[in-house]
Structure 1
């Protein structure tokens, strides 16, 4: 069955000063794997739970914060935990300058760790376009390489961005496109904009980056490897 996704855009205007609020919905892409079967055995309504989760992006000219809606932050149920992972979410993400900071992503290693990654989004912007909620969007493709103990894997990310909204951000830390990402597809799920509110009135306090707590990618890999070795003892 073909996966059909419709996202409605509401409260829209084109003025862009101060902070912009963007709400994303998400849908899981069904797939066949042992992990997927195990997840569905534990959580039979997994896809419905994923679809019920909303994510918020707060952005201005210099910084963005991507996070799950507050009520899901406090939900520590097994089902919601599986749904968060299935959606690709692993903690708040700050995008600032040329770096991405992933907050609270590995509390099993140490509380309040921050993973710092340099933005290496080498997008291939195509001429393919489509209209999303009356906005002209262009397709961009990103080949993202992942290296783990099982080998090297290349995942394809597809993003649809609108140059009409001059914010270079999107869900899950995707950025560096000449316009806001309205839709993003990973191998696991599809994110789509549900609402955009410019000149957001509520006070947003972007988290401060504790330089004593953040790890570069190489440092994080070493910490993970040390942790795995300890588990073997």
Structure 2
């Protein structure tokens, strides 16, 4: 456990089948590596809020834009690197409800306080439109979330603001998991030939995530836990 080795790596050193090692680890009730904190090795206790809006996780994911004609995924690394330098970045602002996993996201130009507060105004309005009253928001310690503009906006809305412990992003785990999902299933899902093509695909992907994609932790899509959402789209 201290070395953070899984069954496949252990089996290679012991000359055994990985399935055999997995059975032995299971027999001795060893915790899966995915369920432990990377820094301390302690088991991460996962909690879920009891109702929509009780806690909303907010974060920003920075991704490189795709240059015209495609990046390294479409053209290969040598050619892609030549095009990459002037493409810039997109900042994906995300808000994920803890209970339902319902997500509201926007692709924006930066992570300044004005941009972050503008995003949250629209996210808050979206959650309200589907019957979710936001009570608390959890963010990391980014500059935009420590600004007076952010503090005053949430205070005006009657929303409590909580911040994660420094250097402990797993505290904001549900939005961090959403970030990984959007990278795997949208941003890097296929070799886009332009940034506009990638962005056009985002709206459809987000709809699929909220309305149709099966989420194992809640045994269904987010729409299954938000009654007002299920009737909006098919």
Band the TM-score falls in, shorter-chain normalisation:
under 0.3
Q: Greater relative contact order: 1 or 2 (C-alpha under 8 angstroms, separation 6 or more)?
A: 1
Q: Give me the TM-score of the superposition, normalised by structure 1.
A: 0.23
**Bigger CA radius of gyration:** 2
Q: Give me the TM-score of the superposition, normalised by structure 2.
A: 0.23
Q: By percentage of residues, which structure has more strand?
A: 1
